[in-house]
């Protein structure tokens, strides 16, 4: 089978690397890919952007692609799956209507409330005066969110009314363009976060191992929210009984709710959870795999990714069981200076050729410039390793990281080092 992976980040490098190991894959194409996917055996980059749906259709038709797997949310929200389906092309992911679970936070909150799935209390606003009144009447910490897609950056966790109002004002005044013309203000939840990602086909689903992201840029969970600065799997605070609760109270009601609302949800579904004293609650849905969660999860996945995604795309997911490496895996993201607000790009990256059998260096924002790998985005690399223990995986990753050079690079020193496993 010929597989096309859409996207250019660390997630797509990890998905392509895993797909290329499948005996079912004759070739793996990545559009547009990065300098890392360009260097992998059995993987070929195709210079078409992830949002160029016409271009991707032409690639799928001309190169006779058997299955397209979409990495990022933007093409899903823009309807890539609907467009491919009309032409009889297999593309794994939800339709545009179902992808609104990620594409609109107010849509997701309304869906959660209507189907009685646990989440933070919220209100939706389109004007500053109403938001200001609400914040005055409801003292305490709030989270202010741009309604539309903002690459994980349109969320401000505010301890005080003043910070919340500033965030609401700047979003409503166009900080994120149309994505912030509507905002959601919700109560701040206290607890430990976990990512729960499944591959679904209607009501059938298989759950990937749990994982834990690090959204804030700086050590100690400080600094601005980012797309994610590192992740490990399994999540520290999800044991088997809690996983059963998450399946029964969150994942299954979500798939049933989607079905009841007339959607056949096919593709990856990512529930970002807060494990609170009142049980797990949904912070957000994503209609795709997580980045950087994909990197440690793909290192742990022993099952054939092509067989798995093909089963989901052809109505055979009910017959699949996942095989997972019991060892934990951890990924640390190396980001460009200035990330997330204004990352500097074009800097040479050194030390990539060293081989370390324990570690994989997944590329994200990288490209080739005259034979040299240079930075081309905010998150540049995701150094990922398995280990007998989480601590061992951490040691491998940080040791490998010392050998990589990128002027002014940012990375967190404390991935996998929170006071883990303590849930309220």
By CB under 6 A, tell whether 384 contacts ligand GLY: no
Q: Which does 228 bind (CB under 5 to 8 A by kind): ligand GLY, ligand AMP, none?
A: ligand GLY
Name the binder of 225 from ligand AMP, ligand GLY, none, CB < 5-8 A by kind. Answer: ligand AMP
Size of residue set near ligand AMP by CB under 6 A: 15
Q: How many CB atoms are located within 10 Å of the residue 52 CB?
A: 17
**Residue from 96, 144, 250, 283 binding ligand AMP (CB under 6 A):** 283
By CB under 6 A, is residue 286 in contact with ligand GLY?
Answer: yes
Q: Residue 293 binds what, of ligand GLY, ligand AMP, none (CB under 5 to 8 Å, by partner type)?
A: ligand GLY
- Asked whether position 152 contacts ligand GLY by CB under 6 A, the answer is yes
Binding-site partner at residue 283 among ligand GLY, ligand AMP, none, CB < 5 to 8 Å by type: ligand AMP
* Smallest distance from ligand AMP to CB 411, Å: 19
Nearest to 150 by CA among 249, 44, 227, 82: 227
Q: Which stretch binds ligand GLY (CB under 6 A): 45-53, 169-177, 289-297, 306-314?
A: 289-297
> Cβ 186 to ligand AMP, closest distance in Å?
5
The dihedral of CA 174, 175, 177, 178: what is its sign?
negative
Nearest to 80 by CA among 173, 4, 1, 164: 4
Pattern of binders to ligand GLY over 214-253, x per CB under 6 A? Answer: -------------xx-------------------------
By CB under 6 A, tell whether 280 contacts ligand AMP: no
The smaller minimum CB distance to ligand GLY, of residues 9 and 387, is found at: 9
Radius of gyration of the chain (CA): 20
291 is an interface residue for ligand GLY by CB under 6 A: yes
Q: Rank residues 89 and 189 by Cβ distance to ligand AMP and give the closer one.
A: 189
| 329 and 300 Cβ atoms separated by less than 8 Å | yes
Among 75, 290, 296, 416, binds ligand GLY (CB under 6 A): 290
- Is the Cβ of residue 290 or residue 328 nearer to ligand GLY in the bound state? 290
Q: Which is nearer to ligand GLY, 72 or 328 (CB)?
A: 72
Q: Which stretch binds ligand AMP (CB under 6 A): 71-79, 181-189, 318-326, 407-415?
A: 181-189
Q: Segment 249-278, which members bind ligand GLY (CB under 6 A)?
A: none
Q: Binding to ligand AMP by residue 235, rule CB under 6 A?
A: no
If one asks whether residue 186 binds ligand AMP (CB under 6 A), the answer comes out as yes
- Strand bridging mode 43-45 / 27-32: parallel
Which tokens sit at 79? Answer: 């309807």
Instruction: Name the residue whose CB lies closest to ligand GLY.
Output: 228
Q: Which of 186, 193, 293, 304 binds ligand GLY (CB under 6 A)?
A: 293
Pairing between β-strand 67-70 and β-strand 2-7 as defined by DSSP bridges = parallel
- What is the nearest approach in angstroms of ligand AMP to the Cβ of residue 379? 16
143 binds, among ligand GLY, ligand AMP, none (CB under 5 to 8 A by kind): ligand AMP
**Which range binds ligand GLY by CB under 6 A, 106-114, 252-260, 290-298, 393-401?**
290-298
Binding site for ligand GLY (CB under 6 A): 152, 213, 227-228, 286, 290-291, 293
Binding site for ligand AMP (CB under 6 A): 120, 143, 145, 152, 155, 157, 186, 188-189, 193, 215, 225, 272, 283-284
């Amino acid at each position: 089978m010929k597989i096309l992976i859409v996207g250019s980040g660390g997630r797509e490098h990890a998905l392509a690397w895993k797909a290329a190991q499948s005996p079912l894959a004759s070739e793996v194409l990545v559009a547009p890919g990065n300098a890392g996917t360009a260097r992998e055996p059995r993987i070929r980059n195709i210079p078409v952007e992830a949002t160029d749906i016409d271009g991707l259709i032409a690639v799928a038709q001309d190169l006779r692609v058997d299955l397209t797997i979409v990495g990022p949310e933007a093409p899903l929200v823009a309807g890539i799956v609907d467009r491919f389906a009309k032409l009889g092309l297999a593309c794994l992911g939800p339709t545009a209507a179902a992808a609104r679970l990620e594409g609109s936070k107010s849509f997701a909150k309304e869906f959660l409330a209507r189907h009685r799935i646990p989440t933070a209390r919220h209100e939706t606003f389109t004007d500053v005066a109403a938001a200001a009144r609400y914040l005055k009447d409801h003292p305490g910490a709030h989270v202010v969110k741009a309604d539309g897609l903002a690459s994980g950056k349109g969320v401000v966790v505010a301890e005080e009314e003043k910070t919340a109002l500033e965030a609401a004002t700047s979003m409503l005044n166009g900080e994120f363009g149309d994505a912030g013309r509507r905002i959601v203000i919700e109560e701040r939840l206290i607890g430990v976060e976990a990512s729960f990602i499944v591959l679904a086909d209607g009501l059938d689903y298989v759950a990937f191992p749990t994982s834990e992201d690090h959204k804030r840029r700086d050590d100690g969970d400080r600094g601005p929210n980012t797309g994610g600065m590192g992740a490990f799997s399994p999540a520290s605070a999800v044991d088997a009984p809690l996983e059963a609760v998450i399946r029964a109270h969150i994942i299954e009601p979500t798939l049933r709710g989607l079905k009841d609302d007339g959607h056949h949800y096919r593709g990856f579904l990512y529930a970002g959870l807060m494990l609170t004293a009142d049980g797990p609650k949904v912070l957000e849905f994503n209609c795709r795999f997580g980045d950087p969660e994909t990197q440690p999860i793909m290192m742990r996945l022993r099952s054939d990714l092509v067989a798995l995604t093909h089963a989901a795309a052809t109505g055979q997911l009910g017959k699949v069981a996942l095989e997972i490496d019991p060892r934990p895996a951890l990924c640390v993201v190396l980001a460009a200076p200035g990330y997330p607000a204004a990352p500097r790009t074009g800097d040479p990256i050194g030390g990539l050729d060293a081989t370390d059998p324990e570690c994989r260096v997944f590329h994200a924002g990288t490209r080739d410039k005259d034979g040299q790998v240079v930075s081309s985005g905010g998150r540049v690399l995701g150094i990922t390793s398995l280990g007998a223990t989480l601590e061992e995986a951490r040691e491998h990753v940080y040791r490998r990281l010392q050998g990589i050079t990128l002027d002014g690079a940012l990375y967190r020193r404390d991935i996998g080092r929170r006071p883990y496993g303590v849930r309220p």
